[in-house]
Structure 1
Amino acid sequence: MRMTAVAGVLAVLAAGTAGGAPPAPSPGAVTGGALVGAAHGTGTLPPAHAVNGSGPAGRAPGDGAGASDAGAGGVGGPPRGWFVAVREVDPSVREDMRYAGARNFTGAVVDGYAEPVCLLTRPAAEALRRAQRRLLPRGYTLRVYDCYRPQRAVDRFVRWAREPDGPADLAAKAAHYPRVDRARLIPEGYIAEKSGHSRGSTLDVTLEHLSGRAVDMGTPFDFFDPRSHTDDPGAADTVRANRRLLRGVLAEQGFVNLPEEWWHFTHRPEAFPSTFFDFPVSVASLRP
């Protein structure tokens, strides 16, 4: 890629943030059970596998287990000023929001996805912008598949996993879970009743060339198989190098990878380490 193209992308990014993002609210501005101090590096942090709570280690899309301050349906609207649309923080990050359309393992739009937009807590979104700035001069960009995920979407995944496969599901099975029966997705930990995504600081993301050409990551997104493990020993050298690049750039900005999924990252410390939200995925949800 010519450097003029890279410079153009950087110029757009700079223009979109020239005015500066509004300051995050003070820790005291948020109540309702969230560990607010963690957003600023204070407070008690979750354990190493808190993305999954006490549930099975490692899998998505319903990775994780419960929190004491979240009801069965999740907490309602976002605390004002703490969630942002990533496109407003960094318009150069590409969005391919799979659960807002039919291109996902359920084959349909998932409950709670009113718009194809990536929402994150402000600290996570700003960290993602910093990672993007490291990648752009190297000819890469980030492409996100999922960000904040409402509890109702996780509930839908659980209901779906308990339904039998039918003739209409053959394509999705081949693309996402070819070597495991749908009935085994919950027992094997690929789907659970709580997800770290519902806390707002977790996202699913990949690399892409600025030209639009895909980067070989070895498996598709949401491929329920050990081959999706970040350090899968059977992966080709190129694939392992690409996964290391993604993990390394994000780790520099505080993101922690889930070892069982090369695409899954949580920004630490989490702004809301024990709160599972349930507001719809839409820009309107962020408005007062």
Structure 2
Amino acid sequence: MKKLFFTMKTIIVLFLNMMIFLSCKTEASKKETAKEEEPIEKIVADSVRIAKVVKPQFKSLGGIADTTFVRLADYSDGFAYDLRYATDNNFLKEQVYECGECYTRAKTVKALLKANEEFKKHGVKIKFYDCYRPNSVQYKMWKIVPNPQYVANPEKGSIHNKGGAVDITLVTLEGEEVKMPTDFDFFGKRAYHDNFDLPQEILDNRKLLKETMEKFGFWSTRTEWWHYNLQGASNDPIANFKWNCE
């Protein structure tokens, strides 16, 4: 009888130990699972944090004087750029900017931002060929081509030198070129606004560019479909502000 009792007792002890072992294993498994899940949550949290850091934080034009020179890319990433005078792909056949940047006065940027929002409704956006141009660069251009038909005399200056002129075209929101009458800086009647001997698609694109820019305070130049001056900018002084090239 004692032997039987001892056997039963042994079985019970073994059973209890087994239950404790299984319970501990279950708890350990839960902890391991929690450990495996924790890094995933951390990765997600880190990704959100990094995304917030990487997301462009654009400056505000609030409180900035209208005549202050500002860098357009600091206020929007909704534009495209092909700054030709920072290359030799221009009518001068020479690079006259040390590097390509689009600066204008703050009031010009405000008008450009509004115009670009309007263009986006039509599935297009502004692409810049030229923006503000330091007067020292105007002297460089005049030295290469001293002809007022093509280059403004630096003594009188250009509205580009005043931060109120831009040379632009349109591209799709994906960056594809929109058909226009000519390439940038084409000097001939095909580039004139009063030339209507063009395919209808090109006429429509030129019209959209002109009417939208005029709606937001710019006026066009009859002989250059790409050139736009902000109204009143001709009264601003000629500037020689130079941006840094990194």
Normalising by structure 1, we get a TM-score of 0.61
Find out whether 1:275 has 2:237 as its counterpart.
yes
Q: What fraction of aligned residue pairs are identical, expressed as a percent?
A: 28
Greater Rg over alpha carbons, structure: 2
The equivalences for 1:142-157 within 5 A come to 142-157=126-141
Q: Give 1:197's aligned amino acid.
A: H
Q: Give the conservation status (yes or no) of the 8 Å contact 2:60–2:75.
A: no
CA distance in 2, matches of 1:217, 1:231: 14
The 1:136–1:191 alpha-carbon spacing in structure 2 relative to 1, beyond 3 Å, is: same
Aligned to 1:89: 75
Find out whether 1:261 has 2:218 as its counterpart.
no
Aligned to 1:21: 61
Q: Give the conservation status (yes or no) of the 8 Å contact 1:16–1:91.
A: no
Which consecutive aligned stretches of 4+ in structure 1 deviate over 3 angstroms post-superposition? 14-17, 281-284
Instruction: Please provide the CA RMSD for this pair.
Output: 2.2
Query: Alpha-carbon deviations, 1:31-90, whole Å to 9, x = none?
Result: xxxxxxxx6xxxxxxxxxxxxxxxxxxxxxxxxxxxxxxxxxxxxxxx7xx111011122
Shift of residue 15 of structure 1?
6.5
Give secondary structure in 2 for the equivalent of 1:262: strand
Query: Alpha-carbon deviations, 1:91-135, whole Å to 9, x = none?
Result: 21111111112211222210xx23311000001111101111111
Find out whether 1:123 has 2:107 as its counterpart.
yes
Aligned to 2:167: 204
Q: Give the conservation status (yes or no) of the 8 Å contact 2:159–2:165.
A: yes
Aligned to 1:72: none
Shift of residue 21 of structure 1?
2.5
Higher helix share: 2
In the alignment, structure 2 segments of 5+ residues that lack a partner are 1-54
Normalising by structure 2, we get a TM-score of 0.70
Find out whether 1:229 has 2:189 as its counterpart.
no
CA distance in 2, matches of 1:274, 1:134: 27
Query: Alpha-carbon deviations, 1:243-275, whole Å to 9, x = none?
Result: 1100111111101111111100011122x6241
The 1:281–1:97 alpha-carbon spacing in structure 2 relative to 1, beyond 3 Å, is: farther
The equivalences for 1:244-259 within 5 A come to 244-259=207-222
CA distance in 1, matches of 2:244, 2:108: 18
Give secondary structure in 1 for the equivalent of 2:225: coil
Query: Alpha-carbon deviations, 1:150-174, whole Å to 9, x = none?
Result: 1122212221125xxxxxxxxxxxx
Shift of residue 24 of structure 1?
2.1
Shift of residue 225 of structure 1?
1.0
Q: Give the conservation status (yes or no) of the 8 Å contact 2:80–2:175.
A: no
Query: Alpha-carbon deviations, 1:3-28, whole Å to 9, x = none?
Result: xxxxxxxxxxx9655x6323123xxx
In the alignment, structure 1 segments of 5+ residues that lack a partner are 1-13, 26-38, 40-78, 163-185
Find out whether 1:102 has 2:88 as its counterpart.
yes
Question: How many aligned residue pairs are there?
Answer: 189
